[in-house]
Amino acid sequence: MADDKNRILVIDDENSVLQMVEKLLTKHGYEVSCARDGLEGLRHIDRDRPDLVIADIIMPVLDGITLVKALKKQQATRSTPVIFLTAKSDPLSMIEGINVGAKFYVTKPFQTEDLLSKVSKVLQGSSHRIG
């Protein structure tokens, strides 16, 4: 039944965060892939069409805000839900993150139950699979 697993792409330039989130989500039955920057993340999204993207905002090469703007411009990726997981905790950054189209904005350090709850909400709300 591996085909029934929701696919999640985690994009973060911090190895420790990637490993922790990957381990957490895998333990809860999700199929997880990782990317270390927004450009690599875009390639993954174009190739794999994940059900959800969890992305940092502050990354080299291509930041999270620009990543989401790029997703929203393309018909094929426009409906891909994104959760920002970032250290940027100021109110203006949060507003910008939601305004560009993120479903949720989670600040680091994060509570695992909070992240899992938001992941579950997003995936239950968009139970469609493309491709």
Per-residue pLDDT of 87-118, as tens digits, reads 999 999 999 999 999 999 999 999 999 999 99
Q: CB of 80 within 8 A of CB of 48?
A: no
Residue 32 scores a pLDDT above 50: yes
Which domains are seen in the chain, by residue range? 2-125 (3.40.50.2300)
Mean pLDDT of the chain: 92
pTM, whole model, 2 decimals?
0.92
Residue 131 scores a pLDDT above 50: no
Residue 4 scores a pLDDT above 80: no
Rounded CA-CA distance 105/57 in Å is 10
Per-residue pLDDT, 126: 55
Q: Which amino acid is at 68?
A: V
- Tokens standing for 130? 């493309």
- Tokens standing for 94? 């949060």
Q: What integer is the mean pLDDT of 69-74? A: 95
